[in-house]
Structure 1
Amino acid sequence: MQAATASAARKEISLEIVRDFDAPVSLVFKAWSTPEHLLRWWGPRDFTPHSVSMDFRPGGAWRACIRSPEGRDYWMSGLYREVRAPEKLVFSFAWDEDGAPGADTLITVSLADIGGKTRLTFQQTPFETVEERDSHQEGWGECLERLRDYVDHV
């Protein structure tokens, strides 16, 4: 019984961010689904995305690297679980530290048309701690701001 309670508590630690974009759903989806677009906005403020590979289909793998202002590379990877163009994308996410994958989380990106614009709902779960979730909230929040700036100028 104790394990089930711990598992339920862990699942409660999740992240949700909602952002509206002044761009059509098709463009926002394309920004998530092609390497040439991801290389323009992926990563928190002041980080530079410099490597993205993706096999964009259910079961396909992706891997990306962002570089910090200090020059440190941060690799991440995962698998696409669901691709429903242009309204939904589900993929696993794990940091690759020293060649070993970290803990897997699941990311769901849902896109809805709101009068020719896009409402994006970003969800990531589960997190081991609230602090871990909050650090992701800051990073993804900055990332989504970069995405907004990018699609506004495409």
Structure 2
Amino acid sequence: MTEKAVSEIERMVITRIFDAPRELVWKAWTDPKYIMQWWGPKGFTAPVCKMDFRVGGKLLCCMRSPDGQEGWNAVEYYEIVPYEKIVSLMYFSDAEGNKIDPAQLGIEPAIEGAYDVALFEDLGNGQTKLTFIGNEPLESAKNSGQLEGWIEILDKLAAVIGGLAQAK
């Protein structure tokens, strides 16, 4: 990929509307016991999730494929506006949270200087709009399966949120 400014590259953006109040969507996104229920695409599990949810803190999750292969992701938090916005940097890592070059996994690297952004918007009537802006180019996300994976992840998140809404 040639060097381009972050604003010039089309990034992966996924929007989902949940039939739940913003507080529940936020809780499902930020509580490790719920993250373990939705982290990873369909058929994947998350047997480990450690989180220090604060600016400067880190999330470390293990994603296990249906055939038992494990992959790790780390997330570093740069900005947190409760119930509204999370700015972070997610990357592939080892079990200790050390960064792994995406090229080793056959994936194009993230956009230099780009962060992941999760926006939580209260739509009223008990609905919340979640917009996730990834730190990778859209074309790369499509080609590597990350876009499809994130759509499946948000399907799993919707199920978790539905369970939280029913329990309330």
Fold shared, TM-score > 0.5 on shorter chain: yes
Cα deviation, 1:72-116, whole Å, max 9, x if unaligned, reads 001010210111111111111101258642345621110111122
The equivalent residue for 1:53 is 50
Alignment gaps of 5+ in structure 1? none
Greater shift in the superposed pair: 10-19 or 63-72: 10-19
SS in structure 1 opposite 2:41?
A: coil
The equivalent residue for 2:132 is 122
RMSD across aligned positions (CA) = 2.3
The equivalent residue for 1:111 is 120
Alignment gaps of 5+ in structure 2? 102-108
CA deviation after TM superposition for structure 1 residue 10, in Å: 8.6
**Percent identity of the aligned residues?**
34
5 Å-filtered alignment, 1:6-85, equals 6-8=3-5, 11-85=8-82
Q: Greater strand share, 1 or 2? A: 1
CA contact (8 A) 2:37 2:160 kept: yes
The equivalent residue for 2:141 is 133
Q: What amino acid maps onto 2:91 in structure 1? A: A
Q: What amino acid maps onto 1:101 in structure 2? A: I
CA contact (8 A) 2:85 2:120 kept: yes
Q: What amino acid maps onto 2:159 in structure 1? A: D
Within the candidate set 138, 149, 154, 2:159 is matched to 149
SS in structure 2 opposite 1:59?
A: coil
Cα deviation, 1:10-31, whole Å, max 9, x if unaligned, reads 9513100110001110011111
Q: What amino acid maps onto 1:108 in structure 2? A: V
Q: TM-score, normalised by structure 2?
A: 0.80
- Aligned equivalents of 2:89 and 2:66: distance in 1? 26
